[in-house]
Amino acid sequence: MPAPLDPLVLERALHADPREDRPPGRRRLKLPPRSFLLLALALFLFSHVLSLLLGPRRSLAGTSRSIRVLFRDRPAILRIEADDLRATDGTRRFAFGRSLSLRTQGRGFLFLVGPKDLRISERPEIRLRWKGPARFSWTEGNKETNRKAFGSMAVRSENGRLRIVFHVPLELYLTGVLASEMGTRFPLEALKAQAVAARSYAISCRTRAGSKDFDLFDDAKSQVFEETSTAPEILEVVRRTRGEVLWFEGEVLRAYYHSTCGGRTRDGRSFFRDVPSPPFRPVRCPWDRASPLHAWKRLWTPSRMEAIGLPTSGGRPRIEVLERSERGDWIRLRIRFGSGPWRVLAGSSLRRNAKLPSLWIRSWRTAGKGGIVFEGRGFGHGVGLCQYGAAGWARKGADYRRILAHYYPGTTIAVLP
């Protein structure tokens, strides 16, 4: 077992901006002109051979660029503790030392550095930087959130709130995604498969971000990232899969994944219209029974039905499914009560309102006092890698490449520089 990695060492080794990392006063290499020419020629040949070997991969933005994560919370006040905190607002530079409280002031910002040390920026956007890990905290109502992370952040002042886009080096971002999406209870090979899928997903989002100032959300709308993880198992998984992505038809795959498929994954084309077909065709998933949501039962109460305007007092409910995925997920349905009018519902509305773990509904029946009980399978959209299924494969001895080849058929693994 290799020694656990110090996150600071990891950060320096993998990501720190080389300009910042250079020790001060380092001497530059002095070479006579002829040696310089030879060196230049050697470098040119080396890069040429490298580009031939790596083909199109090299032209992609590699793993050294940061991922930009938009916080869904927009706190009124953000408290930060870190070494050497600094900010720029485009015209001025600020140095704050080790702690700072940040809030909006008019269209700009108020920095509270100490009891008598207040500073103001009138610009609507700032960039905050620090050295090493930083601790952030904010309070919403009774809930206090604490996060610890490496990177930098762009903060915008918007209607009295702070809109935060966190810039975090890709591989460190992945440590946080792994901790939130799987955690260390999952077997190593499942975590490695998850790391490659999450890296591919993040890079694909970054490639398609266009003119937006962020690549992903920090929650399940994209993939969950709360803070950088320093768990030794997770650092090891990220290190061992470093730069590896799923590759399909000359691109990094937008590798959708989910918690539990319930025995069979869903055809990706029936859920995400923009995905290529072969890697997202449905596959059997025999090993996800350990998931608490492999099979489930949920009661849809009349009060929830009424919340979306269904006239539940009309009599016994009847449901007809108008459109299903090939696996059987309810895409569109209609419902009526007694002899009342039919009402057409999207499967996604039903799932949200009835709080169903998935749309793979196998049966339904009326239950006491006007409710409906649904029985179904799985948790999540069912497309791509099944996290509990991956864990099952890993426990049966499959390595992460085998797991990925199963859930994303037709893909290969490429290593980004």
- CB of residue 300 vs Zn ion: minimum separation in angstroms? 25
H and E: helices and strands count for the chain: 10, 21
In the complex with Zn ion, the residue whose CB is nearer, 282 or 389, is: 389
DSSP for residue 281: S
Residue 285 CB, nearest approach to Zn ion (Å)? 3
- Minimum distance, C-beta of residue 294 to Zn ion, in the bound complex (Å): 8
Whether 119 contacts 161, CB under 8 Å: no
**CB-based contact 416:14 (threshold 8 Å):** no
CB of 76 to Zn ion, least distance (A): 42
Residues 250-269: x/- map of binding to Zn ion (CB under 5 A)?
A: -----------x--------
| 172 is a site residue for Zn ion (CB under 5 A) | no
Size of the site for Zn ion (CB under 5 A): 5
If the CB atoms of residues 261 and 356 are measured against Zn ion, the closer one turns out to be: 261
Q: Closer to Zn ion at the Cβ: 386 or 414?
A: 386
> What backbone torsions phi and psi does residue 27 show, to the nearest 5 degrees?
-75, 145
Q: Residue 67 or residue 285: which is nearer to Zn ion going by CB? A: 285
Q: Which is nearer to Zn ion, 54 or 293 (CB)?
A: 293
386 binds Zn ion per the rule CB under 5 A: yes
What angle (nearest 5°) sits at the alpha carbon of residue 272, between those of residues 324 and 365?
Answer: 30
Provide the minimum distance between the beta carbon of 260 and Zn ion in the complex, in angstroms, as a whole number.
Answer: 6
322's enclosing H/E stretch is: strand 317-324
Which CA distances in Å does 392 have to 262, 283, 380, 389, 400? 12, 15, 17, 5, 12
Q: For residue 194, how far is the Cα from the chain centroid?
A: 11
Cβ neighbors of 42 (< 8 A, separation 6 or more) are none
Query: Could you give the string, one character per residue 121-160, with x where binding to Zn ion holds by CB under 5 A and - elsewhere?
Result: ----------------------------------------
Q: Which of 230, 389, 391, 406 binds Zn ion (CB under 5 A)?
A: 389
* Residue closer to Zn ion, measured from CB, 272 or 342: 272
**Candidates 22-30, 249-257, 267-275, 277-285; binding stretch for Zn ion (CB under 5 A):** 277-285
**164 or 386: CB nearest Zn ion:** 386
Q: Which of 387, 367, 363 is nearest to 294 (CA)?
A: 387
Residue pointed to by tokens 């700072």: 100
Tokens of 77: 């006040």
167: which residues sit within 8 A by CB, 6+ positions away?
66, 67, 68, 69, 151, 152, 153, 154
CB of 255 to Zn ion, least distance (A): 15
**What's the token pair of residue 122?**
């009138």
Residues 6+ apart with CB under 8 A from 346: 331, 332
Shortest CB 325 distance to Zn ion, Å? 15
Taking the least distance from each CB to Zn ion, the nearer of 151 and 357 is 357
- Using the minimum distance from each CB to Zn ion, give the nearer residue, 131 or 289: 289
Q: Shortest gap between Cβ of 373 and Zn ion (angstroms)?
A: 23
Interface mask toward Zn ion for 186-225; x: CB under 5 A: ----------------------------------------
Choices 52-60, 190-198, 279-287, 326-334 (CB under 5 A): range interacting with Zn ion: 279-287
Supply the minimum distance, in Å, between the C-beta of residue 282 and Zn ion: 11
Q: How far is CA 106 from CA 88, 95, 165, 243, 378, in A?
A: 18, 21, 20, 43, 48
> Toward Zn ion, which CB reaches closer, 177 or 386?
386
Q: In one letter, which amino acid is 94?
A: F
Contact between 162 and Zn ion by CB under 5 A: the answer reads: no
DSSP codes, 140-176? ETTEEEEEEE-SEEEEEEETTEEEEEEEEEHHHHHHH
Tell me which residues in 280-319 interact with Zn ion (CB under 5 A): 285, 288
Please state the φ and ψ torsions of residue 362, each to the nearest 5 degrees.
-95, -30
Q: How far is the CB of 329 from Zn ion (least distance, A)?
A: 14
| Closest CB 328 distance from Zn ion, rounded Å | 15
Please, which residue, 56 or 286, has the CB nearer to Zn ion?
286
Return the residue matching tokens 């869904």: 72
Using the rule CB under 5 A, give the single segment among 124-132, 273-281, 351-359, 387-395 that binds Zn ion: 387-395
Q: Which residues bind Zn ion (CB under 5 A)?
A: 261, 285, 288, 386, 389
